[in-house]
């Protein structure tokens, strides 16, 4: 990824960052049939204690999206959505 100082124009840098974020988000999406999933106790424990695995690997293992993993972790920690 390019640094901010590599760009002379700030608008071009902002557009570049938007493209990078969009492609990274698309990599973590699950494009299957969307259905609300009930997580088991083991899966919830894996989501909370996922220090050794990345969210992308965990999402692939559980068959969900990275965003679903992040939202579930937020809710399990007591956050309101």
pTM summary value = 0.58
Q: pLDDT tier at 49 (50, 70, 90 boundaries)?
A: confident
69: containing domain: 7-76
Q: Residue 44's pLDDT is what?
A: 92
Question: Across all residues in the chain, what is the average pLDDT?
Answer: 82
Residue 17 lies in a domain: yes
pLDDT in tens, 18-31: 888 888 777 766 65
d(CA 15, CA 67): 23
The answer to whether residue 2 sits within a structural domain is no
Number of domains within the chain = 1
């Amino acid at each position: 990824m390019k640094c901010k100082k590599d760009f002379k124009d700030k608008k071009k840098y902002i557009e570049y960052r938007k493209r990078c974020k969009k492609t990274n988000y698309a990599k973590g999406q699950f494009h299957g049939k969307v259905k609300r999933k009930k997580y088991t106790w083991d899966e919830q424990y894996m989501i909370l204690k996922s220090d050794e695995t990345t969210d992308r690997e965990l999402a692939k293992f559980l068959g969900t999206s990275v965003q679903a993993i992040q939202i579930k972790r937020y809710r399990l920690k007591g956050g309101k959505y």
